[in-house]
Structure 1
Amino acid sequence: MTNYISKSKFSAIRGMDLPEEPSQGANASHTSCCDGGEATEASSCCGPTVATDAPAWRRIDWLLWGSGGIIALSYISGFFLTHDEPLGLGAFTHGVQEMMNLMWWGILVGMLAVGLIDRVPREFVIGVIGRDQGAKSLVRAVAAGVLLDLCNHGVLMVGAKLYERGASLGQVFAFLIASPWNSLSLTIIIGVLMGWGWMLTFLVISLVIALLTGLAVEALERSGRVKPNPSRIDLPADFRVWQEAKIGLCATRYDFAFARDVARRSVIASRMVLRWLFFGVVLASLIQVTMPTEIFATWFGATLLGLFTTLVAATIIEVCSEGSVPIAADLLTRAQAPGNAFTFLMAGAATDYTEIFVLREVTRRLKAALLLPILTVPQVLVIGWVLNAAG
């Protein structure tokens, strides 16, 4: 959509013209969040950068390519190794295979969504989610998280891009909390595995937590304890997002050049998330070799100790949202602990170290990233205890 927007239309925004979006040419390899600045600075959305005259080994993103190489080698080796290989090698390779088999579609769809969002000016992102902070805009962010049918890793890419495009930290938190297992497909799976009554209960409570967390973050922002998103912009009063979007969609040529541009943006804009995602897969596979998930799914009962150990398990074990649903169902059916099941689903997303790492790089603030578990986990534990007592 950046190919058709008239700069004069938005010249009133902050009294200046909009910057040109990257197009083909010398700067084609940059996204809007990576343009400008010194070459030695760390980009919040593109991963670490180094000076162009640095040695070749320093210009390599070792976390991205190292983790990605381990995943590729392990995935291929999984076809030739059995689970009983010594030193847990077989279990590790098969663990990588299983996670990537669950996650690949979410990663690709997330990258595609990021590539499309990267073409959309920030004004449209703010116009759709809500130009004003508050309950109404947070409800829109929550609804977007539920309707976007992605796993937590695909959603994380979109959430990072939304922040870069100007969404508030509260809106991004509400979006992420509502997203990981509340997609339409997983909601149906939860209903089948756990019963439709529990599915509806979990769904409503999770949406309330997402909304309350977003409101808390925005309250902290208004009090000056949390810095606002520096990419957020003010829109003119006469800005009509849907009218302008309709004009732009009609004017856009959906040809090979369009597809190539989206693909290029998808790879570049997703690189920062992919580096932590691949690292998370390697780390989670190592943990699964030493601490099998069946222990947590079988022995954690509906007690305070079981609730806290479930929280620890959800924090340590990083599984994709598709993988967390069967474990949560086992906690509900075999351990008779609905609160533990809810805690595993929610806390697994709120304490996801990949998510925290990515939020740290996107916001450039560790405090902002840590707000996600700090604000969310206490709510989850209280509700989990109530569900165990009532169940």
Structure 2
Amino acid sequence: MSEHKHSSCCAPAPATSQHEHGDSCHPKDRIDWLLWGSAVLVALGFALYFLPLPDIAYLQAYADGVYELVTRMWWGLLIGIAMVGFLSKVPREFVLAALGRGGSLRGIVRAVLAGVLLDLCNHGILMVGAKLYERGASYGQVVAFLVASPWNSFSLTLVLVALIGLKWTLAFIFLSVLIALISGVVFDMLERKGVIAPNPNKAEMRDDFHFWRDAKTGLAEVKWDRAFFRDVAKQGLHESRMVLRWILFGIVLAVVVRMLMDGDMFETYFGPTLLGLLATIGAATIIEVCSEGSTPLAADLITRADAPGNSFAFLMTGVATDYTEIMVLKSVTGRWLNALLLPAITVPQVIVIAYFLN
């Protein structure tokens, strides 16, 4: 049922090179030093957490930081890998039918709703977003899907309600959905004007395609045996490597930044002023915080710094300016312009809204 001509994390290679080298993103004769180097550093830090360490502050801080981030992220990463594996089994037409036609407002709305409802951390959601692009979603839909996720997922919404109250939580959700919708529409407009290239994986629907009828037929043909789930796991791991490499590198970089930056600075320097707002955006840009970690930090910006706009900006710019997300989008589309336009289009919206919230 699935299609595996080439991985979408690279530009499509000529037919001859694909036959000669196999997967154009993971050539067999090249070691992914960033992936394996970051994996070794993360594994080393995680192992050191359980060992008696010498009285070296930085070594202990590194082990503690890696352990904290890994224990927060692991479930989202596993679910993301599993979803990527299952999506690889779904024919492209079903993904396009579920998301709606790319380049349309209805398609953007569906992508936003999918992002809001999907209960995954930002690292798991990246894997799904990359896979949606491969299955033919427009870049505007992918951006809308990512920006609408993941802190306003169901579980984290409940956490946010407990921390800052229902009023602010609903306001944040509405405003984040608004930014996701606007950003998706803008990216689709840029695609129509030729500023960014269209998704090369885009496919047209068959005239005789009927979602529920074809879905029922396809599901009846699936053998839900051990071999099927083993293939799902294998395919999920294989197609998530491009995202995992940046996530693992992000863990290492985030821990190093945390070692050099005291978390109590939030309470002192990120007040409800323009300078405090800009400082918050700068901090959210350089600190890799997963969605579970960003929620309590954002709550502190309301309850301790009395800066609701900064709180909203911290949640949103953590997604829009996250270097992991930018690098993944660059890898998925093969273009720096697509990736860098994400913060260029979303961050000004966040700043305006956050300023008025303050």
Q: Name the TM tier (shorter chain).
A: over 0.9
2:49 is aligned to 78
Q: Does the aligned pair in 1 maintain the 2:9–2:333 contact within 8 Å?
A: no
- 2:107 maps to a residue whose letter is S
1:188 is aligned to 158
- The structure 2 residue matched to 1:173, chosen from 129, 135, 143, is 143
2:116 is aligned to 146
Q: Does the aligned pair in 1 maintain the 2:298–2:314 contact within 8 Å?
A: yes
Q: CA 1:42 to 1:348, structure 2 compared with 1: closer, same or farther past 3 Å?
A: farther
1:371 is aligned to 341
1:56 is aligned to none
2:39 is aligned to 68
Which aligned pairs between 1:1-391 and structure 2 lie closer than 5 A? 1-2=1-2, 21=3, 38=17, 46=25, 49=27, 52=29, 59-81=30-52, 85-86=55-56, 88-388=58-358
Q: Does the aligned pair in 1 maintain the 2:309–2:353 contact within 8 Å?
A: yes
TM-score (norm 1): 0.86
Q: Does the aligned pair in 1 maintain the 2:9–2:242 contact within 8 Å?
A: no
Runs (4+) of structure 1 exceeding 3 A deviation are 30-37, 39-44
Q: Does the aligned pair in 2 maintain the 1:297–1:327 contact within 8 Å?
A: no
- 1:200 maps to a residue whose letter is L
Q: Does the aligned pair in 1 maintain the 2:301–2:310 contact within 8 Å?
A: yes
Report the Cα offset of residue 298 of structure 1: 4.2
Match of 1:262, SS state, is helix
Report the Cα offset of residue 227 of structure 1: 0.8
- 2:70 maps to a residue whose letter is M
Report the Cα offset of residue 87 of structure 1: 5.1
- Residues in 2 aligned to 1:324 and 1:164: alpha-carbon distance in whole angstroms: 29
1:13 is aligned to none
- 1:38 maps to a residue whose letter is S
Q: CA 1:81 to 1:200, structure 2 compared with 1: closer, same or farther past 3 Å?
A: farther
Q: Does the aligned pair in 2 maintain the 1:190–1:325 contact within 8 Å?
A: yes
Match of 1:38, SS state, is helix
Report the Cα offset of residue 299 of structure 1: 2.9
Report the Cα offset of residue 31 of structure 1: 6.0
Aligned length: 354
Q: Does the aligned pair in 2 maintain the 1:31–1:265 contact within 8 Å?
A: no
- Residues in 1 aligned to 2:199 and 2:143: alpha-carbon distance in whole angstroms: 13
- Residues in 2 aligned to 1:220 and 1:176: alpha-carbon distance in whole angstroms: 18
- Residues in 1 aligned to 2:348 and 2:226: alpha-carbon distance in whole angstroms: 49
Report the Cα offset of residue 240 of structure 1: 1.6
- 2:240 maps to a residue whose letter is S
Report the Cα offset of residue 224 of structure 1: 1.1
TM-score (norm 2): 0.94
- Residues in 2 aligned to 1:360 and 1:179: alpha-carbon distance in whole angstroms: 19
Match of 1:150, SS state, is coil
- Residues in 2 aligned to 1:42 and 1:198: alpha-carbon distance in whole angstroms: 51
Q: Does the aligned pair in 1 maintain the 2:102–2:138 contact within 8 Å?
A: no
- Residues in 2 aligned to 1:374 and 1:41: alpha-carbon distance in whole angstroms: 36
Match of 2:264, SS state, is helix
Contiguous gaps of at least 5 residues in structure 1: 3-20, 53-58
Q: CA 1:324 to 1:33, structure 2 compared with 1: closer, same or farther past 3 Å?
A: closer
